[in-house]
Structure formats: C-alpha cells, structure tokens
Structure 1
C-alpha cells in the first residue's frame, strides 16, 4: 500500500497488490487491483496471468461489476486462455437478459429488447463462438432461437434488422 501511495500509476504495484489479494482469497480486491494494473499497462504479463488465475472465482456483484466486465472483455480476447473458465462469467453477465428474451412469444422480434441487447453485445456474440455454456436455461434459449429463426426463414418473414 505504501508503494501505491508513492506511485499510484505503477502497473507493477497494482499487479503486486492484486497478487497479494489473490493469495489472501480476496477476489474482489484482487480483481480491482489486477484490472487497474492492466489498464495502466496492457502488456503487463504478470497482471494478465493473475487475472487468468482468478477468472473462475469472480462473482459479479455491485462492488466489482465494472471490473468484472473489463476482466471478461480482456479474457475473451486472450488466445492462450481456456475459455471454458469464462463460462461462469458469461452466465452471470447474460443470464438475466437471456431469461427475459426467452419469455417473449418470439425471440426474434422488433420489440424483444432483451434479445436486442444480447444481439448488439459483442461480448455475447463472441462468447457464443468460443464457449459452450453449461446452463440449461441458456441451452433452452439457443434452441428456441434456432427454432424461431428457422420458422421465420421457412415462412419468408424478414428477420428484423435490429
């Protein structure tokens, strides 16, 4: 903490603090410090390794929502990370909108705002290309989405552009 008082813009100090919090089991604090380290220096390999090590322990809450979102984005763009470890973040981030979108009569419609949020979220779209989320409600959503898409295609109904 004294090191941060002396240089609060030090990626190394933030990274070290994140590692200490990780070792103490303080995931929220580790996440915050680690993301700050990465924001200060995107090339900080040790901070990225720390983020990868805490990824599956992140529980999104009001305290860490912004840091968890940034972590999710950083990890989605890692090519040397087991994306299976992102499934928990994917579920936490998107399940609410998935459930709301599934409640609509037709998922693919101009007035399904939850589906529109999902479809316009690059993190959601990219996640679907690299993850197989192990969650029943998500699989039910994807099954209904495929069915709705096929029904609209078969009946020559235009797919909404939004």
Structure 2
C-alpha cells in the first residue's frame, strides 16, 4: 500500500485510549455524505454555545455501512469530557483499543479506494475488525486538514482509524 492511491504509508496498529465526543448523527445515502458533512457547522455552534472546545480534528464515524442502501454515521469532534446531547446532537465515547490506521493524502473522493485498500490489507494480515456485519464499533475518518489553511482538497490529509476486535 505504500505510496499507492494517496496512501502515504503502510497501515499501522495503534493503541488509542477512550475518546469522548460530540457529534451529529444521521442516516445518510452514499450520495448524501457531502450534504451531511456540510452540517458539521451545527456541531461547532453547539459546542461554542456551551464553551466546549474540541481537542482534536473533526471526524466521520461510520456506525453502519451498507453501500447499497444507507449509512448510519456521526460527524463531530473529540472533547475532553463526556457531555449530554440534545436534539440531533449526540455524545458518546470512541472506545479504547487497537486500531488499524493509515493516512490518505489527497481529495476526499479518494477515501473510498483508500478504505478498500485498507480492508484488503487487513484481510491479508488476518486481522479481525470489531464489527458485526455492517455494524462497526469504531470506523473513523479523521480530517487533519483545516480547509481555512488547506483550501485545495487535493492536499488534504485524512486518517482512517478502524477498531480491531480485542
């Protein structure tokens, strides 16, 4: 995978601690992800109104992945403490554990291929995901590039972080 299709390096297995978060949750068709992503501002405004600061980059969390139908996903930010959501804003904790992670450099349109490559690589390594069919415990895209600082989407860095079964 090294250097192929926007992937900068070979995937690694990384241990992460538990990460509280605040997010917007929704059911989204594959062609509706961009429109749903545009609603990240709602999370930013909710956090700002409560004087809660994100402690890392925004993420997309894919809870159910059915490529033929719709996705259940959350878009949000990790925060320092567990909070209580309201309305469409949800809170939770991304669980601690071992994650396969790799960085995709390039336009977000390339994430589908990068995800495919990561899944194939993990299968070749004999790794087992913390998932039950289409339902994932933690399957994340972490958007490391701030669009105000990196306006060209082709220069974005996005980390894929998929939880392994304990």
**Bin for the TM-score computed over the shorter chain:** under 0.3
Structure 2 length normalisation: TM-score? 0.21
Larger-gyration structure (1/2): 1
Q: Which of the pair is proportionally richer in helix? A: 1
Higher RCO structure, 1 or 2 (CA under 8 Å, sep 6+): 2
Whichever structure has more strand as a proportion of its residues is: 2
- Give the TM-score taking structure 1 as reference length: 0.21
